[in-house]
DNA sequence: TTGTAAGCGTTATCAT
DNA sequence: ATGATAACGCTTACAA
């Protein structure tokens, strides 16, 4: 019996490699590699021997080496504006689930709504040799050259939720138009006749579509749009309160508000309550995103749910398809998910 | 705009390497490496030439190769129970900031409060050859052997917030005892005399310490502890409501509640409001974590802030120290942060 | 079915 | 101050 130079010396930083297995078994490294990666050209018996020894010696593959050799890792890079709130964590959750199922790990970067950081994040991910990049754009990203390098290296690039304007890209988005349409229609069905809209920056697809959904719902009810009832902002809670204050000062008062985001509608709600205005009796409210806090305000807030996890899963599925087709056709793929309106007390019983 | 990715050689997936620079400049790769990594043995002039060419050719270092060669990447692995809510995103934010400053990227994994997933996450991180591992334990982790491999490979291991019980580890924690003490003392100072406590699982350090802080505050006011006033649960909103219902049924009613988490105190608040019990007049409330929603409930909730970002930064600092001392002394380092009580209406004006 | 050997792009150890 | 060269651990033509 061969005397092992070192057994498991407790502070052995070096793991067991394929070479070790090969030596131990008296076969070549090729055989080991094939056995471990389930290659077809390998004898069943040999494979078993290798697998057994690998388990016994607790062999751990060095993914770095494999990635270097193959020119690509099993890492999936994700860039999001932020991870607070409910939306992005849930999307990431969906991504992780789907990615892990396909044998990929996920590395998440935040752009903090800052193009410059977004640019650096993309560099970081490329340096890590990620196999793919999934992005939801920062608020102020209006120029997209930092993604050229991703494409030119042939790395699958998928945008989700906030996608580039006027570009042909692979994307997964919610049908924001439909969500806004449903929410606004719901307010109208509850008896509202002067519905205001708290809109986000219009260079961002989601906010543009939500505004259009709002307008189309009005049109369907034969109501003429009124720009005075549309407030444009960054949709923070403060923005929502300020907008509400402005709307209250209007000669002809509003009786409903649909906001393109939950923070804004929260701000509006807080202002209304501070003024003693009843919700939904005097003014009905509906938001967008179905954030966690919509269920704890009083009254609870009606809001459009965004199918967060589905979005993450869909983004990964799209990535996998792109990765499977090395020199993919020029056509970029779009996936559109259907929203769901969660009706709560902030918008109910307007017409008894 | 940036539609076609064909700039130079349209489908050139291969980046420029150090060998390319060397050839171009007629020097050796060693020189290139030295110039780029700011080694001391290098002529200033040569260095400039290399740097200039590198910039011109847009050289991007292949971190994978460097990591393989050095046996370690510039990635920092983080394992957290979940990323929803405010606490973990903020900690991660602190980690990213500090890590990026030190030239590290961060890869985040969620254990979803599941040891089995936590175990797999650790494996994933090791496979990615992370330079360090930062962990906050899952709720049901009571056995810590899956971290042995991290240590035995000589990879710095730092726990934060939820740390292993009865083990000597490097850790960054909040002074939970002090936070609970402050919150409970505050309730007592507001005139409460029968303060209940919604406690979390006692095998988790933070909940154990919060309970002790609660007890010590009572003792400081000469109040005998009463186990009937302590409710043990997983601290969800539902748990909080159920606990409150139980407390209300007590013959001798409580006049204050301190919960070891904000979700639980939220549940308690919702139940009290549904029963028409006035907060804080009849019962004063205080929670722990200073979650975002504590500022939007009515009344707003008093809560203990956990210095989330500082915790992240401290964890990275600790990692960097450990990484700097290759064969560190046996002593493990502890960092303790001081909490801050945010007093809001849910606990005020009990004694007019 | 199995083996040989040439890299992948760096860093590190020599020597010059 | 610079260079030649050998690893790091794995994949993959190409041979046998």
The DSSP annotation for B39-59 comes to -SSS-HHHHHHHHHHHHHTT-
Q: How far is the CA of B157 from the C1' of D1 (A)?
A: 39
Kindly determine whether residue A108 and residue B107, on different chains, have CB atoms separated by under 8 Å. yes
Q: Please name which of A223, A222, A289 lies closest in space to residue A252, comparing C-alpha atoms.
A: A223
The neighbour count for residue B148, using CB atoms within 10 Å, is 12
Which DSSP letter does residue B276 get?
T
List the single range of A235-244, B102-111, B312-321 with lowest mean pLDDT: B102-111
Q: Do you know the residue count of chain A?
A: 352
Which residue of A10, A128, A145, A266 to mutate against B (max B Cβ within 10 Å)?
A128
- Please answer whether residues B164 and B144 qualify as being in contact, where contact means their C-beta atoms are separated by less than 8 angstroms: yes
Position A239 pLDDT exceeds 70: yes
Collapsed DSSP state (helix, strand, coil) of residue A56: helix
Q: How far is the CA of B318 from the C1' of D3 (A)?
A: 39
**Spatial distance between the Cα atoms of B344 and A261, rounded to a whole number of angstroms:** 26
- Please answer whether residues A322 and A290 qualify as being in contact, where contact means their C-beta atoms are separated by less than 8 angstroms: no
Distance from CA of B289 to the nearest CA of A (A): 15
- Please answer whether residues B323 and B165 qualify as being in contact, where contact means their C-beta atoms are separated by less than 8 angstroms: no
The rounded radius of gyration (Å) of the Cα atoms in chain A is: 27
Instruction: Output the pLDDT for position B351.
Output: 53
List all residues 6 or more positions away from B281 whose beta carbon is below 8 Å from its beta carbon: B349, B350
Kindly determine whether residue A105 and residue B107, on different chains, have CB atoms separated by under 8 Å. yes
Kindly determine whether residue B62 and residue A68, on different chains, have CB atoms separated by under 8 Å. yes
Identify the residue whose Cα has the smallest distance to the C1' of D5.
Answer: B30
Q: Please name which of B209, B283, B197 lies closest in space to residue B235, comparing C-alpha atoms.
A: B197
Phi/psi for B155 (5° steps) reads -90, 125
Identify the residue whose Cα has the smallest distance to the C1' of D2.
Answer: B31
Q: Please name which of A178, A179, A346, A351 lies closest in space to residue A257, comparing C-alpha atoms.
A: A346
Rounded (10°) CA dihedral A219, A221, A227, A228: 180
Q: Which residues of chain A (320-349) touch nucleic strand C at CB < 7 A?
A: none
Read off the pLDDT of each residue in B233-248 and give the average, rounded to a whole number: 97
Kindly determine whether residue A89 and residue B84, on different chains, have CB atoms separated by under 8 Å. yes
Q: Please name which of A184, A75, A188 lies closest in space to residue A134, comparing C-alpha atoms.
A: A75
Per CB-CB distance under 8 Å, the chain A contacts of B60 are 123, 126-127
Instruction: Output the pLDDT for position B264.
Output: 98
pTM above 0.75, yes or no: yes
Instruction: Output the pLDDT for position A72.
Output: 82
Q: How far is the CA of A92 from the C1' of C4 (A)?
A: 45
What's the token pair of residue B133? 């591992």
Instruction: Output the pLDDT for position B1.
Output: 32
Collapsed DSSP state (helix, strand, coil) of residue B275: coil
**Spatial distance between the Cα atoms of A215 and A261, rounded to a whole number of angstroms:** 16
pLDDT digits (tens, 9 = 90+) for B214-232: 999 999 999 999 999 999 9
Residue A73: band (very low, low, confident or very high) from pLDDT cuts 50, 70, 90: confident
Position B8 pLDDT exceeds 50: no
Could you give the C-alpha distances from B348 to A81, B21, B192, B302, in angstroms and in order? 37, 69, 11, 9
Task: Give the residue with greater pLDDT, A7 vs B277.
Answer: B277
Read off the pLDDT of each residue in B22-42 and give the average, rounded to a whole number: 91
What's chain A's average pLDDT?
A: 90
pLDDT digits (tens, 9 = 90+) for A152-193: 888 899 999 999 988 889 999 999 999 999 999 999 999 999
Instruction: Output the pLDDT for position A13.
Output: 46
What's chain B's average pLDDT?
A: 90
Which DSSP letter does residue B15 get?
P
Task: Put the strands of the sheet holding B334-337 in their side by side order.
Answer: B105-110, B75-80, B132-135, B157-160, B170-174, B334-337
Collapsed DSSP state (helix, strand, coil) of residue A289: strand
Instruction: Output the pLDDT for position A11.
Output: 38
Phi/psi for A161 (5° steps) reads 60, -75
Considering CB atoms only, which of B2, B15, B89 is closest to A83? B89
| Domains A73-174+308-337 and A176-307+341-347 fall in the same CATH topology | yes
Query: Burial code of B58-94, b = ≥16 C-beta within 10 A, e = fewer?
Result: ebeebbbbbbbeeebbbbbbbbbbbbbbbbbbbbbbb
Could you give the C-alpha distances from A259 to A47, A189, A240, in angstroms and in order? 60, 17, 8
Q: Please name which of A144, A106, A113, A110 lies closest in space to residue A128, comparing C-alpha atoms.
A: A106
Which DSSP letter does residue B12 get?
-
Could you give the C-alpha distances from B229 to A125, A289, A337, B78, B257, in angstroms and in order? 52, 39, 48, 37, 9
Q: What is the CATH number of domain A176-307+341-347?
A: 3.40.50.2300
Q: How far is the CA of B37 from the C1' of D4 (A)?
A: 20
Q: Which residues touch strand D (CB under 7 A)?
A: A 14-15, 17-19, 29-30, 33-34, 36-37, 61-62, 65-66, 68-70; B 26-31, 34, 40-43, 45-46, 65, 68-69, 71
Kindly determine whether residue A96 and residue B110, on different chains, have CB atoms separated by under 8 Å. yes
Residue B10: band (very low, low, confident or very high) from pLDDT cuts 50, 70, 90: very low
Considering CB atoms only, which of B5, B110, B266 is closest to A296? B266
Q: How far is the CA of B154 from the C1' of D5 (A)?
A: 29
Read off the pLDDT of each residue in B174-200 and give the average, rounded to a whole number: 97
Closest chain B residue to A13 measured between Cα atoms? B153
List all residues 6 or more positions away from A8 whose beta carbon is below 8 Å from its beta carbon: none
Kindly determine whether residue B3 and residue A107, on different chains, have CB atoms separated by under 8 Å. no
pLDDT digits (tens, 9 = 90+) for B55-65: 999 888 888 89
List all residues 6 or more positions away from B330 whose beta carbon is below 8 Å from its beta carbon: none
Residue B73: band (very low, low, confident or very high) from pLDDT cuts 50, 70, 90: confident
CATH 3.90.550.10, domain B73-174+308-337, yes or no: no
Residue A204: band (very low, low, confident or very high) from pLDDT cuts 50, 70, 90: very high
Residue B330: band (very low, low, confident or very high) from pLDDT cuts 50, 70, 90: low
Say whether the CB atom of B30 is under 7 angstroms from strand C.
Answer: yes
Read off the pLDDT of each residue in A191-219 and give the average, rounded to a whole number: 96
| Ramachandran category for residue A235: left, alpha or beta (phi over 0 → left; psi -120 to 50 → alpha) | left
**Spatial distance between the Cα atoms of A180 and B123, rounded to a whole number of angstroms:** 43
**Spatial distance between the Cα atoms of B334 and B205, rounded to a whole number of angstroms:** 14
The neighbour count for residue A228, using CB atoms within 10 Å, is 13
Could you give the C-alpha distances from A242 to A154, A234, B271, in angstroms and in order? 46, 12, 32
Q: How far is the CA of A124 from the C1' of C10 (A)?
A: 18
pLDDT digits (tens, 9 = 90+) for A31-66: 999 999 888 889 889 999 999 999 999 888 888 899
Instruction: Output the pLDDT for position B154.
Output: 84
Q: Which long-range contacts (CB under 8 A, 24 or more apart) does A218-224 make?
A: A218/A184, A218/A188, A220/A181, A220/A185, A221/A185, A221/A188, A223/A188, A223/A193, A223/A195
Identify the residue whose Cα has the smallest distance to the C1' of C5.
Answer: A30
Which residue of A57, A84, A90, A331 to mutate against B (max B Cβ within 10 Å)?
A84
Kindly determine whether residue A107 and residue B105, on different chains, have CB atoms separated by under 8 Å. yes
Read off the pLDDT of each residue in B246-257 and give the average, rounded to a whole number: 94
Percent of chain A with pLDDT over 70: 94
- Please answer whether residues A283 and A257 qualify as being in contact, where contact means their C-beta atoms are separated by less than 8 angstroms: yes
Q: Please name which of B306, B300, B272 lies closest in space to residue B286, comparing C-alpha atoms.
A: B300
Read off the pLDDT of each residue in A305-327 and give the average, rounded to a whole number: 90
Q: Please name which of A169, A162, A155, A148 lies closest in space to residue A311, comparing C-alpha atoms.
A: A162
**Spatial distance between the Cα atoms of B183 and B304, rounded to a whole number of angstroms:** 7
Residue A245 parent element (H or E): helix A237-248
**Spatial distance between the Cα atoms of B288 and B302, rounded to a whole number of angstroms:** 8
Rounded (10°) CA dihedral B41, B47, B53, B57: 50
What's the token pair of residue A23? 């030596």
Cα dihedral B63, B66, B69, B71 sign: negative
Read off the pLDDT of each residue in A227-233 and give the average, rounded to a whole number: 97
Distance from CA of A168 to the nearest CA of B (A): 7
Q: Which nucleotides of C are covered by protein (CB under 7 A)?
A: 1-13
pLDDT digits (tens, 9 = 90+) for B75-114: 899 999 999 889 999 999 999 999 988 888 888 889 999 9
Position B314 pLDDT exceeds 60: yes
Domains of chain A by residue range? 18-57, 73-174+308-337, 176-307+341-347
Packing angle, helices A176-189 and A205-220, rounded to 10:
40
């Amino acid at each position: 019996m061969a005397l092992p130079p070192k057994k498991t010396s407790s502070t052995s930083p070096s793991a067991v490699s394929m070479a070790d297995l090969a030596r131990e078994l008296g076969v070549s490294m090729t055989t080991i590699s094939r056995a471990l990666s389930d290659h077809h050209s390998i004898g069943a018996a040999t494979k078993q021997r290798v697998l057994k020894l690998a388990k016994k010696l607790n062999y751990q593959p060095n993914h770095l080496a494999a990635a270097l050799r193959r020119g690509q890792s099993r890492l999936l890079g994700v860039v999001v504006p932020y991870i607070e709130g409910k939306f992005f964590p849930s999307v990431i959750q969906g991504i992780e689930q789907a990615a892990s199922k396909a044998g990929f790990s996920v590395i998440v970067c935040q752009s903090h709504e800052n193009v410059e950081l977004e640019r650096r994040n993309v560099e970081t991910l490329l340096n890590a040799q990620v196999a793919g990049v999934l992005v939801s754009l920062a608020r102020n990203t209006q120029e997209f050259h930092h993604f050229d390098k991703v494409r030119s290296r042939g790395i699958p690039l998928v945008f989700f939720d906030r996608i580039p304007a006027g570009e042909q890209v692979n994307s997964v988005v919610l049908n924001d138009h439909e969500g806004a349409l449903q929410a606004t229609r719901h307010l109208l069905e509850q008896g509202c006749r002067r519905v205001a809209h708290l809109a986000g920056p219009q260079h961002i697809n989601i906010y543009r579509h939500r505004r259009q959904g709002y307008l189309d719902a009005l049109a369907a009810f034969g109501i003429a749009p009124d720009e005075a009832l549309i407030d444009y902002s960054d949709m923070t809670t403060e923005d929502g309160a300020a907008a509400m204050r402005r709307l209250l000062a209007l000669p002809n008062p509003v009786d409903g508000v649909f906001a393109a985001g939950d923070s804004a509608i929260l701000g509006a709600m807080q202002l209304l309550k501070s003024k003693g205005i009843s919700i939904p009796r005097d003014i009905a409210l509906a938001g967008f995103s179905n954030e966690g806090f919509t269920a704890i305000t009083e009254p609870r807030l009606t809001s459009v749910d965004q199918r967060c996890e589905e979005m993450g899963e869909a983004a990964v599925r799209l990535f996998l398809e792109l990765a499977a087709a090395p020199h993919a056709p020029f056509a970029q793929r779009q996936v559109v998910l259907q929203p769901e309106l969660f009706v709560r007390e902030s918008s109910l019983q307007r017409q008894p």
